[in-house]
């Protein structure tokens, strides 16, 4: 797939509307278009007026299904391939149901057939675990789904939000300042809406990090793997849905290992080419693409992960990508095991709740102000920044786990201590910067039912450092040096 990264015109010409709603493709979907160019008609499909879909009185809503994958803690290794495939099928069932949902007059009518499909697939997951000799969890109660209004706070057990913030690596999101200032609900459809954006200057400083203690590993190691200038994309997720094409239902940017797709095994990654300057780093780094909601079709407008999955608009190439490994504020770190897999954030956080959400949004010049569930509106001359601060504690045994989470953990955000039984490892911090027109008008790709909410942002990493370079990285951190 080709790459588009067009130069923008002068900023003043972009800011025609603050939160106009436009039809973006089929299915009656409405998306926010907030900076259409009045001179060239960008952002307006042929035959559509600028107020198409506005004032319909419809409220945006979506399908809310329990996440079976998060519930799985113990799955025998020999059953994981089949289980991962069935989990990916559950995602596809929701995607297909959501397409019908957008067109249905009676939204609830979509739910019974979806529940029937889910019940059968969940039964297959239980059977696979049982055949592998383990007692499966009773998951059948997770088959039913509900219709959820997009502006309704998801009900979740008390304390879930606190646990999510506890896992946020010292980036206390504390975003009461300015919440909801991005505007009112912007019509119905697939998002984003004006309320998903907030002026970064209205947010107070909210970043707190644990202080380094005596014996801390204070060094850093930075690896330069480019900005995906060569345009490597796919809608796969080799960690969460190995062996399943379009397992993510949204498009990913990739830097580092160029052999990465849904079907890549460890040997493929070990032998893959890399965009990293240091050829000893063949690691895979990937994240959902960011698109401009300007009405311009990308090359994937009719493809899986793109338009077929309600991800529309021009893919924006980052203006800068920094991949930095840092130490632990309490003590030394141990080397990461080769082929360690880490997912940070939750692609389904809008419906799951924010317990696993971990992406931060900000603007250059304002990075002491971080947002989790809002996109930032940056002042002129400032660029949008996405930051992923990965888990930095490892169980000492596994390179992956049944739910792709429990083999790693976050250190305590106040003290930097790892949970009991976990070891401190180098912490990956991904910083991705974008030059976008000022104001709203961009969004990350997402599962279609997640409505492109910023809280769903997430990053993925597979460690394919060679042993010698990983040893050097670890020594740099533990000795307090800055290395590249």
Q: What is the per-residue burial (b if ≥16 Cβ within 10 Å, else e) of 321-358?
A: bbbbbbbbbbbbbebbebbbbbbbbbbbbbbbbbbbbb
Q: Give the model's pLDDT for residue 1.
A: 55
User: How far apart, in whole angstroms, are the C-alpha atoms of residue 200 and residue 446?
Assistant: 23
Spatial separation of the C-alpha atoms in residues 92 and 138, rounded to whole Å: 22
Please give the pLDDT value at position 353: 94
The number of distinct structural domains making up the chain is: 1
Q: Apex CA 408: angle with CA 403 and CA 413, to 5°?
A: 120
Contacts of 468 (CB under 8 A, 6+ apart): 280
Per-position DSSP letters for 150-203, written without gaps between them: TTSPPP--TTHHHHHHHTSTT------TTTTTT-S---SSSS--GGGEEEGGGS
192 preceded by a cis bond (ω within 30 of 0):
yes
Residue 239 forms part of a structural domain: yes
Q: Of 472, 399, 385, nearest to 432 (Cα)? A: 385
CB 156, CB 353: distance < 8 Å: yes
Helix (H/G/I), strand (E/B), else coil: 91: helix
The H or E element spanning position 478 is helix 467-479
| CB within 8 Å of 180: residues ≥ 6 apart | 195, 198
Task: Determine, yes or no, domain membership for 65.
Answer: no
Q: Is 187 left (phi over 0), alpha (psi -120 to 50) or beta?
A: left
Q: Which of 468, 338, 349, 344 is nearest to 409 (CA)?
A: 344
Predicted local confidence at residue 20, as pLDDT:
33
3-class secondary structure, 312: coil
pLDDT at position 39 is 30
Q: Is-contact 424 331, C-beta < 8 A?
A: yes
pLDDT along the chain (484 residues), means of 10: 41 34 30 34 30 43 95 91 97 97 95 98 96 89 94 47 37 34 38 94 92 92 98 97 97 98 98 98 98 92 96 97 97 98 98 95 97 96 98 98 96 94 98 94 97 97 98 98 96
Q: What is the pTM of this model?
A: 0.83
Does 136 fall in a domain?
no
N- to C-terminal Cα separation, the chain: 31
Domain extent for 328: 150-483
Does residue 363 belong to any structural domain of this protein? yes
Report pLDDT for 273.
Answer: 98
Q: Does the residue 157 lie in any domain?
A: yes
User: What does the pLDDT read at residue 190?
Assistant: 86
Q: How far is CA 371 from the centre of its chain?
A: 14
Tell me if 139 is assigned to some domain: no
467 located within any domain? yes
438, part of any domain = yes
């Amino acid at each position: 797939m080709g790459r588009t990264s067009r130069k923008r015109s002068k900023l003043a010409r972009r800011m025609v509307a603050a939160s106009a709603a436009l039809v973006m493709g089929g299915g009656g979907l409405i998306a926010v278009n907030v900076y259409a160019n009045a001179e060239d008609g960008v952002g307006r499909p042929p035959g559509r007026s600028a107020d198409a879909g506005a004032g319909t009185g419809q409220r945006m809503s979506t399908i809310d299904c329990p996440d079976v994958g998060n519930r799985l803690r113990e799955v025998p290794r020999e059953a994981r391939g089949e289980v991962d495939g069935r989990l990916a099928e559950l995602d596809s069932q929701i995607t297909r149901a959501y397409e019908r949902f957008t067109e249905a007059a009676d939204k609830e009518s979509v739910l019974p057939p979806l529940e029937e499909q889910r019940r059968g697939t969940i039964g297959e997951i239980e059977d696979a675990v049982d055949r592998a000799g383990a007692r499966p969890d009773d998951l059948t109660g997770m088959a039913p789904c509900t219709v959820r209004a997009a502006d309704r706070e998801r009900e979740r057990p008390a304390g879930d939000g606190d646990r999510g913030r506890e896992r946020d690596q010292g980036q206390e999101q504390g975003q009461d300042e300015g919440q909801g200032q991005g505007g009112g609900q912007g019509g119905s459809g697939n998002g984003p809406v004006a309320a998903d954006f907030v002026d970064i200057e209205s947010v107070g400083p909210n970043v707190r990090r644990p202080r380094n203690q005596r014996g801390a590993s204070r060094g850093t190691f930075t690896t330069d793997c480019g900005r995906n200038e060569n345009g490597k994309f796919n809608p796969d997720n080799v960690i969460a849905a190995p062996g399943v094409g379009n397992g993510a239902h949204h498009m990913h940017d990739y830097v580092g290992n160029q052999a990465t797709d849904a079907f890549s095994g460890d040997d493929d990654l070990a032998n893959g080419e890399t965009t990293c300057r240091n050829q000893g780093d063949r690691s895979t780094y990937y994240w959902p693409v960011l698109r401009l909601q300007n009405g311009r079709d990308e090359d994937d407008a009719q493809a899986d992960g793109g338009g077929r999955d309600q991800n529309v608009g021009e893919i924006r190439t980052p203006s800068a990508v920094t991949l930095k490994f840092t130490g632990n504020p309490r003590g030394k770190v141990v080397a990461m095991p080769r082929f360690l897999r880490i997912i940070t954030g939750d692609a389904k956080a809008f419906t799951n709740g924010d317990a696993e959400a971990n992406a931060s949004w900000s603007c250059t010049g304002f990075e002491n102000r971080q947002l989790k569930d809002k996109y930032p509106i940056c002042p002129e001359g400032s660029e949008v920044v996405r930051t992923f601060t990965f888990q930095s504690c490892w169980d000492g045994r596994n390179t992956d786990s049944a739910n792709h989470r429990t083999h790693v953990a976050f250190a305590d955000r106040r003290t930097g201590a790892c949970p009991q039984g976990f070891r401190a490892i180098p912490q990956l911090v991904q910083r991705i910067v974008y030059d976008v027109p000022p104001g709203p008008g961009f969004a990350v790709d997402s599962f279609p039912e997640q409505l492109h909410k910023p809280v769903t942002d997430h990053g993925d990493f597979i460690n394919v450092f060679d042993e010698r370079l990983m040893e050097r990285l670890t020594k740099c951190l533990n000795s307090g040096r800055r290395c590249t």
